[in-house]
Structure 1
């Protein structure tokens, strides 16, 4: 469980993730129970080192014995060494997203049936294709019920805010409705198709206009961080475990400066290691 925030404007793409990794078990009644939460998870990555492309994840934190962080770095290495069939000097965001999806989908399919049935996995890939004038944002989702191949959710000309993980705070704050609005309407006897239309109209009419497509990079960073911090505080006061928390990792992708860490946790003092990239 986590929060992933993407803010896409004309000048940049900002990714923010928290660091909470929840260890979930199933009780005798078949309900999922959070056993413990670690606050040092890595969910944000430079997917091709030195290039303007980033990735972030939420949902399932590991496939078998390998964490998503380790698998993502394996994907990065495969691309860099030519094993992915992608030229790291001439690529599209779609190519990278599709390759990552193939790797993750195969690993997910190899999990035991009970794990797959109870799990979901989301992965975002965003940035600039080699020949791209603007950034793109792609999203893939894999669950026990179905797999959604990478979808282009924001093309080069589209600016938007996107979130996933535990969306309650963002839905309430930005869209002005509850995530349960459609369920409430259907429970009240409204047809599902009509309930969906009504929910969409409510969200459109009550949406807060927080995003400006021409906002500077720093303001896009501040907006993304604000939404993530709000989610952390919101979940803190809800009943149950603090399943969103820890340090926030923040990165930007711009056309000319490429991938840049804005804020990043380290589990060792930076002065002990001369490397400045620290694994990206």
Structure 2
């Protein structure tokens, strides 16, 4: 699948991801469904040039026959008012937009317009999008997300409110949860399968997290340290995936961006499939 990280401190929010895209066979499940893994996918985007809004996706690299990077860039054109075939409601007013509204429009575009008509019935998480940055005129950043799971998509939810120093991981967050929380993502189900009620299992997980978790994100953390931590989460997950049994579904170059109030959306680590010296002024 992938790993996509949003990490927020008072200075701003960082997005980081790997570059692995997994090709699967929808007629099979588990490891047998993985046909190939490509390590040069682009998963992080500025959703409106010159505006402090970023997005990172995880899960499927394509919706139907359209790649997700292409679709996100189509959405960016709508937000910029550069798509002549769409309603004016899509153009973002740089002085009035909210991150919540951006996330809702992204869901409408990606799920309602492109995913739902395909009537995909596969189980599990097909796709997720993290939307992060600053609402117009806001002092603090915030993080929202939505997931397409089992062919359905709930409304976007806020996973890191303004002023909260925390992290959110999408895709394959198990190792990050083990490092930061002291317990992996499969622990709850393991306790339930072992005979505990859901309530007792949740209480036991909370006890383990309190005893074994480590507070890694601090509100006063400078943005460079937040970048380093987000990239550590991605790099460590990729290394772990490399050595564990099965396909390396997290890997390739790590990419990251920092979004701050005054500097806006800034790339920190980024790859290109073309030589920038041969393509002056080229955009991705």
TM range (shorter): over 0.9
1:113 paired residue among 102, 110, 120: 120
Equivalent in the alignment of 2:191: 185
Q: Is the 8 A contact 2:25 2:35 kept in 1?
A: yes
Equivalent in the alignment of 1:204: 210
Equivalent in the alignment of 1:165: 171
Equivalent in the alignment of 1:240: 246
Q: Is the 8 A contact 1:128 1:134 kept in 2?
A: yes
Q: Is the 8 A contact 1:50 1:258 kept in 2?
A: yes
Equivalent in the alignment of 1:84: 90
Q: Give the total of aligned pairs.
A: 277
Q: Is the 8 A contact 1:18 1:245 kept in 2?
A: yes
**Change in 2 beyond 3 A, CA 1:74/1:173:** same
Are residues 1:133 and 2:139 paired? yes
Q: Is the 8 A contact 1:48 1:88 kept in 2?
A: no
> 5 Å matches for 1:216-231?
216-231=222-237
Equivalent in the alignment of 2:51: 51
After superposition, what is the alpha-carbon deviation per residue over 1:78-120, rounded to whole angstroms, capped at 9, x for unaligned? 0110451532343111111110011122122112434x44652
Aligned-residue RMSD, C-alpha: 1.8
Are residues 1:64 and 2:64 paired? yes
Structure 2 residue matching 1:72: 3-state secondary structure:
helix
Displaced runs of 4+ in structure 1, greater than 2 A? Answer: 26-32, 116-119
**Change in 2 beyond 3 A, CA 1:25/1:170:** same
Distance (whole Å) between structure 1 residues aligned to residue 209 and residue 174 of structure 2: 14
Ranges in structure 1 where 5+ consecutive residues have no aligned partner: none
Equivalent in the alignment of 1:149: 155
Moved more, 51-60 or 188-197: 188-197
Q: CA deviation at 1:220?
A: 0.6
Distance (whole Å) between structure 2 residues aligned to residue 120 and residue 56 of structure 1: 15
Distance (whole Å) between structure 2 residues aligned to residue 52 and residue 29 of structure 1: 39
Structure 1 residue matching 2:155: 3-state secondary structure:
strand
**Change in 2 beyond 3 A, CA 1:31/1:249:** closer
Structure 1 residue matching 2:258: 3-state secondary structure:
strand
Equivalent in the alignment of 1:73: 73
Q: CA deviation at 1:30?
A: 8.4
Distance (whole Å) between structure 2 residues aligned to residue 6 and residue 29 of structure 1: 29
Q: Is the 8 A contact 2:126 2:149 kept in 1?
A: yes
Are residues 1:34 and 2:34 paired? yes
